[in-house]
Amino acid sequence: MSDTSQYLTLVFISVVLTLAVGTVLMRAGEPFLQEVFHDRSVTRSLNLLLFVLFLLITLGVLAIISAIHVDTGNEVQTFVVKLGVVLLTLGIAYGISMLVLLRVRAARKADEIHEHVSERLAEREYDRTHPDQGSASSR
């Protein structure tokens, strides 16, 4: 296999794998975003923006990786080493993306819990200061 055909094959495989991983991330990320934003249009828009961001960053890194010269003394081994770097890069990018989604969801849940607790405390304070008016939650 010539250097050019090896390069083009690696770029093709990298693009296909990146699109596949990005699509999986987009499908897996939508329920997380829906849980956070409770609005289908916002969820879809943000999910598409994150998908494009994932593609741009990952494809940019992979383009740089594909241009780096690695010489193992064997064309097949060189190709496999570069493909391994591509797969590791995709795995790391996917992992980071999932961690971001998990953190966004956790932060949103924490905010909802804080808001609920604050409302309950305000109701109790109102009930304590206005005992003759009944419970604020019953209105």
User: Nearest 5°: CA angle at 7, between 6 and 10?
Assistant: 85
Taking the whole predicted model, whether its pTM rises above 0.75 is answered as no
Q: Cβ(81)–Cβ(70) under 8 Å?
A: yes
> What average pLDDT is seen over the chain?
84
- The whole-number average pLDDT for the span 76-80 is 85
The pLDDT assigned to 9 comes to 87
The pLDDT, as a whole number, for residue 20 is 93
Q: Does residue 105 or residue 92 have the better pLDDT?
A: 92
Taking the CA atoms of the chain, what radius of gyration do you get in angstroms?
Answer: 25
Kindly state the average pLDDT of the residues 37-53.
88
> 60, 92, 67, 93: which is closest to 82 by C-alpha?
67
**Would you say residue 71 has pLDDT above 70?**
yes
